[in-house]
Amino acid sequence: MTAAATLRTPDALARAGLVAPERLPALERVAARYAVAVTPAVAELIDPADPADPVARQFLPQEAELDAQPSERPDPIGDDAHSPVTGIVHRYPDRVLLKITHTCAVYCRFCFRREMVGPGGLKTLTPAELDAALAYVAGRPEIWEVILTGGDPLVLSPRRLREAMERLAAIDHVKVVRLHTRVPAVDPEAVSDELVAALKCPGKAVYVALHANHPREMTPKVREACARIVDAGLPMLSQTVLLRGVNDDPEVLGALMRAFVETRIKPYYLHQGDLAPGTGHLRTSVAEGQAVMRALRGRYSGLCQPTYVLDIPDGHGKVPIGPAYLDEGVAQVRDPNGAAHAYPPEGFILKE
Ligand SMILES: *Cc1c(COP(=O)(O)O)cnc(C)c1O
Ligand code: SF4
């Protein structure tokens, strides 16, 4: 199945054969609330005959999105509480997020910023807003790293990206620039040589973190797009959201991590699903996530191990959430199969 352009409405999804026409009234209500976009490359990966298709679950709107739970919240990780100027989130002393655009190439059904991204939300920073955001960074020598996120920074034109990189290159105390993106996975052909060249930031280390959640997303074209980035001297990391019915299975997650490592992408984070509104049907429990991580540790290369993290609601920060292998207080360590092994008690105690 091929589609010529990005599908942006339930009607367009129905015409492409991806959703049943009788669901349109309900899906129109979902789309009125949360942005929809499915690129041709993603549409091609979806098997419409499979009701449990793991790619469809990530990108096609579902009626269940209208069921928000009381524990869910519009700003689940508390961006607003730490935003000193438009476009900047400064929660940790040494790094800031620079949300240069609120547009994405696709709209993920579980997005933690789903109330902020998309055509209904804020768009790209205006020149004056970008000036103010960069002035904020330039005025604070403790900012060592700038993380371009959004939205998705790779939807910007190479010209705009190059401009942003040149301006960051001029700030001495910024040593590292990181971009978080889904573009190489959902629109690999957009990763042109010109775009890759625009990501270079003279004098700084630039890292590109790819968001992908299922091994089927790592097609040959996607791997080639990532190779263009890595070959240009930009190391890549991964980020994955743990999703019910998509990757909450050690075999699937292990295959995804292997695909990353084979592509020279170092697995970085596995995120516990945030409490974004209407995403409960895609969330696992933390206990389920820990069980998957334990199985991953037992069966896959150390290179294939991401850190499982939770963003504490309301802006209290990201923390690793295990599983833990030390049984504290009883001086023993558990192996990946759950068996306990003694470790000398004095080894646990702080030395004087
Ligand atoms: C996730 C996040 C970062 C980056 O955290 P790392 O652990 O360095 O990847 C920075 N700022 C904010 C506000 C974040 O949510
Ligand atoms: S690409 Fe990222 S910011 Fe955009 S919809 Fe998906 S999760 Fe949200």
Q: pLDDT for 2-13, tens place per residue?
A: 447 999 999 999
What's the rounded Cα separation, in Å, for the pair 219 and 185?
8
116 token code pair: 């902020």
pLDDT in tens, 55-90: 999 999 999 999 999 999 999 988 888 999 999 999
**Which of 79, 90, 97 best tests ligand 1's pocket when mutated (most atoms within 8 Å of CB)?**
97
Return the residue whose CA atom lies nearest to atom 6 of ligand 2: 108
Q: Using a 6 Å cutoff on CB, does residue 223 contact ligand 2?
A: no
Question: In this structure, which ligand is nearest to the CA of 112?
Answer: 2
Q: Are the C-beta atoms of 87 and 102 separated by less than 8 Å?
A: no
Greatest alpha-carbon pair distance for the chain in Å reads 71
Question: What is the C-alpha to C-alpha distance for residues 205 and 51, in angstroms, rounded to an integer?
Answer: 43
- Ligand 2 contact, 186 CB (< 6 A): no
Q: Is the pLDDT of residue 209 over 60?
A: yes
* Sign of the CA dihedral running 5, 6, 12, 17: positive
Pocket lining: 59 vs ligand 2, CB cutoff 6 Å = no
- C-alpha 297 to ligand 1 mean position (Å): 24
8 A C-beta contact, residue 289 and residue 250: no
The percentage of residues in the chain with a pLDDT greater than 90, rounded to a whole number, is 88
Collapsed DSSP state (helix, strand, coil) of residue 112: coil
What is the set of domains in the chain, with CATH numbers?
10-66 (no CATH), 80-320 (3.20.20.70), 327-352 (no CATH)
Mean pLDDT of 96-121: 91
Q: Which residue has the higher pLDDT, 321 or 352?
A: 321
Task: Please determine, for residue 339, whether its predicted confidence score (pLDDT) is greater than 90.
Answer: yes
Using an 8 Å Cβ cutoff, are 289 and 242 in contact?
yes
Mean pLDDT score, 26-33: 97
Q: How does residue 122 score in pLDDT terms, banded at 50, 70 and 90?
A: low
Reported residue count of the chain is: 352
